[in-house]
């Protein structure tokens, strides 16, 4: 029997063909972060910090109103760069801050974007540095992204909604708003998205839409098979790989439905999630969702067996030292059922299976692909993948084997999405 290390070496020996990578890393991106007047300016501090942490170069520009809510000193300290607040700033040699700041930017992100500022943008007004810079930016190369923030009545007002529609028609990327309690005490739509949500939106923005038009159904996490109301059988799957795939597929433009066993992970933004506990519940949820999907990725670690007769009440010790007898029945094979469905057989549903093995990965993954009847099977070493933030994958299809070397699950998920997009013909593969 091979050790885990030997199996990993086996992965590394397999073909090392270059992987097409997403370019959605924020590291090295030059982002002009514009702040306009609104209480949500306090969230811009956290946003700036998150962007810098991800390796982005952040240049802050603030309107006079924004400076009423948060000081340029704070934003300078967080961004590590002097803040610009006026078009008359004499620090620029040519006195053209609006040109100099926008020419090399990868994007201008206005967060918060006030109702008033959006109204100005649609008219091309340019009476202070930030709006002047937006108007003067090269349209083709410097995208403008807005994170609106305002009171719910202001957001719902036809004038604001008209302005949002016009901004979108002009090519501006207007993010959605959050819902909840507002600084004014009212509750409703209009809050600025949280910093981490905006960071997610930026990743999505820079991701090629290789799964546009696809509906991806994913299972993730472990299942839990009850023995009695307080005890059960489960496994060490954390759900991280399945959730990372859901996020990557969403970034790539797909509609994503995620059916998750019991995990403690937040739902990726824009993903529909159904929580289940047992293999039978996961099976039923998948049966409901599969007719709408065009891609099915079975990343869940489904329990193969469940206790034959789960007790209705807690099983008690009776003091005799005798242990309870447990007998098991086999759970339905969710992946095999879907893979053998008419839609999958007719090429309308592309199925991807996972194999969590402890040894002889290549051999087991190859055999499992045939047994499950799937075009693509992703092998990994269970013990060195469960619960970890990184992993190494072995892709097995009818043509052969491809290795995705050890990397973060985030990166591997993005690579897997590209591999799937190539196989369903959603992206052109250039021969090298």
As annotated, the active-site residues are 184
Comparison of 240 and 269: residue with beta carbon closer to ligand CTP: 240
Q: How far is the CB of 337 from ligand CTP (least distance, A)?
A: 8
Comparison of 39 and 263: residue with beta carbon closer to ligand CTP: 263
Q: In what order do the strands lie in the sheet with 30-35?
A: 57-62, 30-35, 107-113, 144-148, 173-174
| Helix (H) / strand (E) containing 417 | helix 409-423
Q: How many residues does the chain have?
A: 432
C-beta of residue 237 within 8 angstroms of C-beta of residue 386: yes
Closest C-alpha to 130, from 147, 113, 149, 106: 113
Strand partners, 355: 379
Is there a cis peptide before residue 243, judged by omega within 30 degrees of 0?
A: no
- Residue 9, number of CB atoms within 10 A of its CB: 11
248 Cβ neighbours under 8 A, 6+ residues apart: 22, 207, 410, 413, 414, 416, 417
Comparison of 64 and 304: residue with beta carbon closer to ligand CTP: 304
Comparison of 4 and 74: residue with beta carbon closer to ligand CTP: 4
Q: How far is the CB of 29 from ligand CTP (least distance, A)?
A: 35
Comparison of 134 and 217: residue with beta carbon closer to ligand CTP: 217
Closest C-alpha to 158, from 168, 147, 166: 166
Closest C-alpha to 60, from 87, 81, 77: 81
Proportion of the chain in helix, strand, coil states, percent, rounded to 5:
35, 25, 40
Q: How far is the CB of 210 from ligand CTP (least distance, A)?
A: 22
* DSSP 8-state code for residue 222: B
Q: How far is the CB of 359 from ligand CTP (least distance, A)?
A: 11
Question: Is residue 373 left, alpha or beta, with left meaning phi > 0 and alpha meaning psi from -120 to 50?
Answer: left
Comparison of 106 and 333: residue with beta carbon closer to ligand CTP: 333
Q: Which residues bind ligand CTP (CB under 6 A)?
A: 219, 279, 298, 300, 302, 304, 331, 333-335, 353-356, 368, 372
Q: How far is the CB of 335 from ligand CTP (least distance, A)?
A: 3
User: How far is CA 309 from its chain centroid?
Assistant: 39
* DSSP 8-state code for residue 253: T
Closest C-alpha to 85, from 25, 41, 140: 41
């Amino acid at each position: 029997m091979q050790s885990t290390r030997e199996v990993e070496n086996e992965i590394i020996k397999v073909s090392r063909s270059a992987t097409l990578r997403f370019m959605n890393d924020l590291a090295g991106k030059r982002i002009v972060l514009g702040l306009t007047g609104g209480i949500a300016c306090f969230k811009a501090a956290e946003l700036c910090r998150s962007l810098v942490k991800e390796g982005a170069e952040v240049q802050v520009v603030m309107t006079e109103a924004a400076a009423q809510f948060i000081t340029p000193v704070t934003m300078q300290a967080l961004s590590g760069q002097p803040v610009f607040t006026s078009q008359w700033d004499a620090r620029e040699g040519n006195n053209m801050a609006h040109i100099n700041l926008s020419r090399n930017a990868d994007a201008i992100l206005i967060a918060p974007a006030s109702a008033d500022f959006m109204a100005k943008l649609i008219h091309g007004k340019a009476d202070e540095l930030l709006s002047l810079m937006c108007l003067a930016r090269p349209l083709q190369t410097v995208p403008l992204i807005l994170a609106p923030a305002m009171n719910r009545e202001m957001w719902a007002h036809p004038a604001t909604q008209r302005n949002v529609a016009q901004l979108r028609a002009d090519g501006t990327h207007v993010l959605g708003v959050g819902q909840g309690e507002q600084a004014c005490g009212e509750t409703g739509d209009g809050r600025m998205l949280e910093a981490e949500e905006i960071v997610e939106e930026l990743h999505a923005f820079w991701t090629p839409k290789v799964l546009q038009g696809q509906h991806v159904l994913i299972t993730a996490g472990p299942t839990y098979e009850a023995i009695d109301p307080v005890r059960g059988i489960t496994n060490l799957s954390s759900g991280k790989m399945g959730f990372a795939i859901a996020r990557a597929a969403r970034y790539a433009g797909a509609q994503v439905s995620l059916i998750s066993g019991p995990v403690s992970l937040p739902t990726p933004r824009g993903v529909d999630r159904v929580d289940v506990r047992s293999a039978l519940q996961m099976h039923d949820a998948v049966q409901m969702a599969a007719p709408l999907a065009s891609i099915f990725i079975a990343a869940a670690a489904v329990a193969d067996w469940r206790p034959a007769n789960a007790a209705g009440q807690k099983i008690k010790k009776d003091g005799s030292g005798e242990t309870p007898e447990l007998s098991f029945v086999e759970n339905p094979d969710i992946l095999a059922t879907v893979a053998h469905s008419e839609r999958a057989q007719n090429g309308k549903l592309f199925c991807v299976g996972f194999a969590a093995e402890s040894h002889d990965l290549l051999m087991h993954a190859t055999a499992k692909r045939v047994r499950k009847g799937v075009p693509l099977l992703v092998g990994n070493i269970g013990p060195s993948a469960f619960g970890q933030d990184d992993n190494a994958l072995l892709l097995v299809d009818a043509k052969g084997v491809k290795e995705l070397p050890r990397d973060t699950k985030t990166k591997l998920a993005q690579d897997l999405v590209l591999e799937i997009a190539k196989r369903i013909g959603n992206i052109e593969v250039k021969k090298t």
